[in-house]
Amino acid sequence: MATIRPFAGIRPAPAYAKEVAALPYDVMNTQEAREMVKGKPYSFLHIDRAEIDLPPDTDPYSPAVYQKAKETLETFEKQGIFIQDETPCLYLYRLTMDGRSQTGLVVCTSIDEYQNNIIKKHEFTRADKEADRIRHVDTLNANTGPIFLAYRENPQAAEIMAAEVKKFPLYDFIAEDGIGHTVWRIDDNDTIQALVKSFQTVDSLYIADGHHRNASAVKVGLKRREEKPDYTGEEEFNFYLSVLFPAQELHILDYNRLVKDLNGHTKEAFLAKLEEKFQITPAKTAVHPPKAHTFGLYLAGQWYLLEAKAEILSDHPVEGLDVSILQREVLTPLLAIGDPRTDKRIDFVGGIRGLGELEKRVDSGEMALAFSMFPTSMAELMATADAGLTMPPKSTWFEPKLRSGLFLHDLGK
C-alpha cells in the first residue's frame, strides 16, 4: 500500500502565484536562471538558484548560496508573498499543454516507502547533485520542489478528484510558455481521509521525474532521524513533497542524442557499419521515428530512417529499450561513447525543443551527427522499475514540467 499524508502547505498568496511559479532548478544553468528572473522579483528561482542574487563569481554550492535561499524565503514570508495553510490539506494540481491535461494529487509521501521500494526509481543518481539538494532542503527546513510520481490506477481517487475539480480553484493561470496551471485545495477532513484510504490499495508509486530531489529529500529525513533518535515516525521530516499522477495521463517526449564526431570514421564507412544492424532509408524531411525500434539519423545535412534488425532486439525490460539499443549497437562500438553520463562528446536534447535544434547544432559544426528517438513509454518505465532495474541516462523527458514554488512542505522541528 502507498501512504499519502496531508500537510499545511506553504504557498504563494493567490495574487502572486503566477509570479512565483518557476521551472525546476535543474532544467537551466546559472546564467540562464539570471536571465529568466529579470523583471521577476518574486520568481522562485531566487530561492531555488539563490546564487543568481550573489556576485557572478559565487560558487553555486557555497554555504552562502543556501543561506541566501533561506533569507529570501523568510523575506517572502514576511512580505506576505508566501502564506501557510492553517491545517493539513491535500491539493490538486492540473497542468494543461496543447489542449491535453494531467491532474495530480499533491501530498506528502513516506521516506520509509522509498527505502522499502514501494516508491520505485528507474534511474541512478549522482552524489554531487544529491548533495546540493540535501543542503538546500536542510538549510531551508522545507521540501521546495515536488517529486513527480505516477501510479497505475486508482478508480476511487479518480472519482473524488473529478468532483473536486468542479469547485472554484485556488490558482488558475497560464505561464509564459502557454502551459496552464490550476490548483485546488482539499481541506475537508472526510474527503482527505477518503483519498488517503484509496491509496492504500495502490501497490507502487513510480518516480517519473525528480530522482535527485527524491533521494535528497529522503536523506534529509534520515539525517533528522539521526539527530532525533527518539523520533516517533509522525514528524514532518519523515515525509516529503510529491505530486501523484495517473500514469495514463502522462506524456513522455523523445530524448534525443548529439555526438561531436564520427570517431575517425568517414560518413560512408559509418553508414556501412550501421547497415550491418539497421535498415537505412534516406529521408527528404526530418525524421520523427514512427514506432519503437526506429531512429532518425541526421548526418552531413541528410536525414535517414534507421530500423533495427531483428537480431539486435531484446525482450529484456532494459536491454530492449531503444536508448539501450542505440547505446549498445552504435554509441559504444562505433562512436566510442562509453559512459554517456560523463562523456563530453555526447549531448542530450529534450524533444520539447524540436528536431530543428538537432539540425542547427549539426549544421553549425558544433556536432557531427544527431539521433532522434522514439519516446520511451510509461509501460516501459514501470516495467523497468518493477524489475528493480535502471534505465540508461536521459531515457525520458516529461512535459509539461511541474512548476516549483507553488507548494512547500515545512519539515518541522
Q: For 57-82, how does the pLDDT look when each residue is reduced to its tens digit (9 = 90+)?
A: 999 999 999 999 999 999 999 999 99
DSSP 291-313: STTEEEEEETTEEEEEEE-GGG-
Distance from C-alpha of 42 to C-alpha of 72, rounded to nearest angstrom: 10
Distance from C-alpha of 188 to C-alpha of 204, rounded to nearest angstrom: 26
What's the pLDDT score for residue 1? Answer: 87
What's the pLDDT score for residue 125? Answer: 85
* Mean pLDDT, rounded, for 176-184: 96
Task: Name all contacts of 51-59 with Cβ < 8 Å and 24+ positions apart.
Answer: none
Percent of the chain with pLDDT over 70: 100
Of 34-43, 146-155, 337-346, the least confident: 337-346
Q: Are 101 and 90 in contact (CB under 8 A)?
A: no
Instruction: Give every CB contact of residue 291 below 8 A, 6+ residues apart in sequence.
Output: 374
* Mean pLDDT, rounded, for 41-45: 98
Dihedral, CA atoms, 373, 378, 383, 389, nearest 10 degrees? 60
> Higher pLDDT residue, 352 or 217?
217
Predicted TM-score (pTM) of the model is 0.92
Query: Which helix (H) or strand (E) element contains residue 47?
Result: helix 45-48
Helix (H, G, I), strand (E, B) or coil at 245: strand
Whether the ω angle into residue 400 lies within 30 degrees of 0, i.e. cis, is: yes
Radius of gyration of the CA atoms of the chain, in A: 22
Neighbours of 189 (CB within 10 A): 12
What's the pLDDT score for residue 115? Answer: 96
* Mean pLDDT, rounded, for 326-330: 97
What's the pLDDT score for residue 355? Answer: 97
Query: Which helix (H) or strand (E) element contains residue 357?
Result: helix 355-363
Name the residue with cell 560512408: 268
User: What is the largest distance, in Å, between two alpha-carbon atoms of the chain?
Assistant: 68
Which grid coordinates are listed for 111? Answer: 521516506
Backbone dihedral region for residue 205 (phi beyond 0: left; psi -120 to 50: alpha; all else: beta): beta
Domain boundaries, the chain: 4-251+400-410, 255-374
Report which of 253, 206, 243, 260 is spatially closest to residue 370, judged by C-alpha positions.
Answer: 260
Q: Are 376 and 391 in contact (CB under 8 A)?
A: yes
- Domain covering 255-374: architecture: 2-Layer Sandwich (3.30)
Could you give the residue ranges of the DSSP H alpha helices within 177-258?
Answer: 189-198, 211-227
Q: In the 8-state DSSP scheme, what is residue 26?
A: G
b or e along 15-51 (b: 16 or more beta carbons within 10 Å of the residue's beta carbon)?
A: ebbbbbbbbbbbebeeeebbebbeeeebbbbbbbbbb
Report which of 276, 134, 341, 288 is spatially closest to residue 217, judged by C-alpha positions.
Answer: 134
Neighbours of 355 (CB within 10 A): 20
Q: Are 215 and 125 in contact (CB under 8 A)?
A: yes
Name the residue with cell 516529503: 240
Instruction: Give every CB contact of residue 275 below 8 A, 6+ residues apart in sequence.
Output: none
Helix (H, G, I), strand (E, B) or coil at 273: helix
Name beta bridge partners: 101. Answer: 96
| Type of residue found at 257 | R
What's the pLDDT score for residue 26? Answer: 86
Neighbours of 197 (CB within 10 A): 13
Report which of 14, 12, 104, 23 is spatially closest to residue 404, judged by C-alpha positions.
Answer: 23
* Mean pLDDT, rounded, for 344-370: 95
pLDDT beyond 90 at 27: no
Report which of 161, 147, 351 is spatially closest to residue 243, judged by C-alpha positions.
Answer: 147
Q: Are 359 and 372 in contact (CB under 8 A)?
A: no
What's the pLDDT score for residue 341? Answer: 83
Q: For 244-275, how does the pLDDT look when each residue is reduced to its tens digit (9 = 90+)?
A: 999 999 989 999 999 999 999 999 999 999 99
